[in-house]
Amino acid sequence: MNETFELETDYIPLCDLLKYCAVTETGGQAKHFIADGNVMVDGRVELRKTCKIRAGQVVTGDGFEIRVIASRSR
């Protein structure tokens, strides 16, 4: 899955991004998924569940890539 996520605010917590993009079904699953080392932010493993993801960053894992862009309306 390759997806582009349009950021409406300054940042989104990593666990929320995974839930909104349907990588996981719930925020709780997202937290465990991150804690298990399954997510990379800009090519580095990220273990912080609420890491602030900002426009320009790329979140990846096995079978998914999410590019975060700034909202066009901002």
Q: What CATH number corresponds to the domain at position 17?
A: 3.10.290.10
Our count of domains for the chain comes to 1
Q: What is the pLDDT of residue 4?
A: 96
Could you report the per-residue pLDDT of 16-74, keeping only the tens digit for each?
A: 999 999 999 998 999 999 999 999 999 999 999 999 999 999 999 999 999 999 988 65
CB atoms inside a 10 Å sphere around CB 38: 19
CA distance 57 to 34: 16
Instruction: Give yes or no for residue 9 having a pLDDT over 80.
Output: yes
Q: What is the extent of the structural domain holding 52? A: 2-70
The answer to pTM > 0.85 is: yes
Q: What is the pLDDT of residue 72?
A: 80
Q: What angle do CA 73, 65, 6 make, to 5 degrees?
A: 10
Q: What is the pLDDT of residue 52?
A: 98
CB atoms inside a 10 Å sphere around CB 8: 10
